Amino acid sequence: MEDVDPLSLENQVCFALAVASRSVIALYRPVLEPMGLTHPQYLVMLALWESAPLSVKDLSGLLQLEPATLSPLLKRLEAAGLIERRRVATDERSLAVTLTDTGRALRAEAEKIPATIVERLGMDVSELQDLHKALTRVIAAATR
């Protein structure tokens, strides 16, 4: 058995994850573009379609994004008329993020996205589900 170089680029999990991430996100770009969304904005909308209204703090936790990273995304989504940010009456320091009618309506168009991405990847759904489970374990291990 030949020696494995521990610093070989092709053996690095971080390299495989980085390239896979960029490659998959690139598949989303032409699908999201007609909807006027970037991939990070799409993730925000997914969270809101599932659980709106959400506080900025809760949204930040769900997406595992710093509030400073999330804030410009929310501003652009608000400027596009998809969301609204309002102060919470019971806590003036807290902002609640809600969907506008336009933002809610966009969900119907977005429902086609998962199947389109699966088709473009050319992988079995079961393979992608297994990959998702493995990545979820990686995320949990890395954020302990």
Query: Is the C-alpha dihedral spanning 99, 113, 43, 50 positive or negative?
Result: positive
pLDDT higher than threshold 70 for residue 1: no
Give residue-wise pLDDT tens across range 3-13. 889 999 999 99
Average pLDDT over every residue of 128-135: 97
What mean pLDDT, rounded, does the chain reach?
Answer: 95
Encode pLDDT of 65-111 as tens digits: 999 999 999 999 999 999 999 987 777 788 899 999 999 999 999 99
CB neighbours of residue 62 within 10 Å: 16
The class of domain 9-142 in CATH terms is mainly alpha
Look at residue 65 and give its three-state secondary structure: coil
3-state secondary structure of 83: strand
* Predicted structure pTM score: 0.92
Determine the residue type at 42: Y
- As a whole number, mean pLDDT of residues 29-57 equals 96
> Average pLDDT of 98-125?
97
Residue 123 has pLDDT above 90, yes or no: yes
**Can you give the pLDDT at residue 83?**
98
